[in-house]
Structure formats: structure tokens, C-alpha cells
Amino acid sequence: MTVSDVVAFAFQAVPQAQGESGDAVTDGFLDSLWADVKDRVTPEAVLGFAQTWGPKIVAALAILLIGRWVARFVTSVAVRAARRAGTDATLLSFLSNLIYMLLLTAVCIAALGQLGVNTTSLSAVLAAAGFAVGMAMQGSLGNLAAGAMLVMFKPFKVGDYVEVSGAGGTVTEIHIFHTVLLTPNNVRVIIPNGNITGNTIQNFSAEKRRRIDLVIGCGYNDDLPAVKQFLLETITSDSRVLQDPKPVVAVSELGDSSVNFVVRPWVASADFWATKFDLTERIKLGFDERGFTIPFPSRDVFLHNSDAA
């Protein structure tokens, strides 16, 4: 006896009992139902059901149990491989859950197919639902993919000073969907990872050495060799300035009101700003002591008195 037979019998028995009332109706209905169940659920019917559906149910359970074990095994292998590759812990946890759920979904579909369920339509529904969710989360998924790229390719790491997407600061946190920067004036800047990978990244901490670029102008009446010698002595006397590569001091331009020197010493990346500030101050004080001029744009104005003429 199948469930549909029982339901059909119940609907047939209800009209017959409408003339009765109270407990008599209920008792009569249950007695009739139980009698029909005993008539229909015979050992032969149970044996036929077991022969027809038993192998399918056993096969479905086997697929479910073995597939679940395989999904866990594949997920653990992928997690170990990603951990050896140095994948971020936050991304690692998310990817492990995602891989396991995808594999488990495939196992459940295979088990349902063994029971005779039309998995083609089910797969189509799941694919359509996944497409709709993907379109709705297009921006978030783009940030997720960008976060995975940042973790795998590592254009910067926590502690680096970078300029990305129009903002500059020290990287304090790298998450799946966004990256957090701390600006020099102690402002937290949260940038979506999609904006980072889609723009130019300047990493000022990636290399051990950096070059300071200064442009120093002197007057046309100043002694150029003396100015050049002073600039060279000033930068080489600083212990933070590296001798390899050698610092450069050279005349770069004959400007409108000044002769411009380029001053380019190399320093360790950690000493960049402090050395630049100190050299700028020492050059200005040295110019004052030696009488060198630092020209600035000026304009002569001549007044003519037409009446006097």
C-alpha cells in the first residue's frame, strides 16, 4: 500500500462519516482507515516495496556517506596545499567552507538521482539560483576575487607604506573584501580590494633602499662650483646616506631666475623622510652661512609719467 492509496481512502471515508457527530465520527474514520491499511499492507506488498526501493535507498545512502567523506578529504587536501602556499588564514577558512559546500551539493544531487529524482531540472534550478545570486553580489564577488589575488601574489603586506586608489598609508589589515590603511595623520582608510587591483599600486616599502630627489636653486651670480661642493659635502656627511649607489649632485636646469641642482642621495627606506627633512634644513642653513642665494620669481615694475614727458 502506498501513501497515495492511504490518502485516497481517507478522502473517500470522510464523506461517509459526515452524518455522524463527535467521537463517533472520529472513531469510525480511524477504524475504517486502520482496516484498509491492514488489508493493503501485506507481507507481499512490503516485500515488493523492499525489492523495488531497497537497493535504490541503500545506493543513495552509500553515495551520501562516501561522498561526504570524499568531500571532507578533498577539502582537507586543498586546505593543506593552500596553507603551505602561505594563504591568509581568513581566506583559507572561507575557501575551505566554500569547497566543502560545493562538493556536498554535488553529492546530494547524485544521491537524489539514484532515488529516481529528475536531477536535470534540479541542476538547472540551482544554476539559475547561483547565477541570480552572482549577479546580485557582483561587486562583492569581485572584491572577493581581488582579495584572493592580493593574498596569493602579495603586491604588499601588512606594515608596508603604499599608495593605492588615491590614498596613501601603512597597511594594517588585509581582509577578503577590503584592505585597511592607516594614514600618517592617523586616519583609517578602508578600500575595497577591487579598487586596489584595478588601479596602480605604489609600494614604498617593497625595496630596502630609496632615493631622495631634491631640487635646489641658486642665483646666477653665485659660485657654481662652490655651491656644488657644498651640496655634495652636506649629503655625504650624513651617516644615513648610502655610498652605493653614489649620491648625485648636478646642474639640471638654467631656470628663469635660478640655476637648479638635482640632489639625489640613496638611503634606507626606513630613513627616507627623516633624512629628507634634515638635508633640506641643513642646505638652507648652509646657504645662509655662505651667502648663497635661493632665488624666487620676481618682477620689475616700471612707472612712466606721461605728463612729465
Rounded to an integer, what distance in angstroms lies between the CA atom of residue 294 and that of residue 309?
A: 38
Which pLDDT does position 145 carry in this prediction? 79
**Global pTM?**
0.54
Sheet of 161-164, strand order: 188-192, 178-182, 167-174, 161-164, 201-203
Which pLDDT does position 129 carry in this prediction? 62
The grid coordinates listed for 119 are 536531477
Rounded to an integer, what distance in angstroms lies between the CA atom of residue 63 and that of residue 104?
A: 11
Which pLDDT does position 263 carry in this prediction? 96
Which pLDDT does position 233 carry in this prediction? 94
Which pLDDT does position 285 carry in this prediction? 95
Which pLDDT does position 208 carry in this prediction? 92
Burial of 21 (0-12, 13-18, 19+ CB in 10 A): exposed
| Spans of the chain, pLDDT less than 70 | 1-29, 31, 33-42, 44-46, 48-53, 85-94, 119, 121-126, 128-141, 298, 300, 307-309
Which pLDDT does position 20 carry in this prediction? 47
Which pLDDT does position 56 carry in this prediction? 78
Which pLDDT does position 7 carry in this prediction? 44
Which pLDDT does position 25 carry in this prediction? 56
